[in-house]
Amino acid sequence: MATNDTNKKSKIIYPELSYKLCGLFYKIHNQLGRFCREKNYSDALERELNQERIAYSKETNAYISYKNGDIYAGRYDFLIDDKILIELKARPYITKEDYYQLLRYLKAKNIKLGLLVNFRNKYLKPKRIAN
């Protein structure tokens, strides 16, 4: 049984960092509640990342390579430690387009893991999306 547990744990992408980020999301959600704007959650997350000394880039453009050129894919909210993309939302519900948007950013940046976080939910449930 121990080998099965080890295999399951090894398949989780960046478990320590993603766990730490989820803790920050819960902290922000508990402090600000669920009815702020996306910008408020983004600013709060930036403060938490700075306080925790976690390397990040914020609101950067992503491009997809195509025939010796680049095509604009969009602007993602956060890239954490060049490992995890974060897309923040403050909507009544997450749509397929939100999921596809993060997947497009993951492919454009060649990143393995994205976290889709909707702060409008009564109970926060960050979604892990693997590339």
Write the single-letter amino acid at 49.
Answer: L
Please identify which residue in the block is written with the tokens 């902290």. Answer: 27
The three-state secondary structure class of 42 is helix
In this prediction, residue 9 has a pLDDT band, given cuts at 50, 70 and 90, of: low
pTM for the model stands at 0.89
- Closest CA relative to residue 79, chosen from 97, 117, 101, 106: 106
Task: Report whether 74 contacts 87 (CB < 8 A).
Answer: no
Q: What is the pLDDT of residues 14-49, one digit of tens each?
A: 999 999 999 999 999 999 999 999 999 999 999 999
Q: Which of 28, 14, 40 is nearest to 130 (CA)?
A: 14
pLDDT in tens, 98-122: 999 999 999 999 999 999 999 999 9
Contact 63, 73 (CB under 8 A): yes
Place of tokens 């996306």: 38
Residues recorded for the chain: 131
pLDDT over 50 (residue 1): no
Query: What would the mean pLDDT of 41-68 be, rounded to a whole number?
Result: 96
- Where in the chain are the domains? 2-130
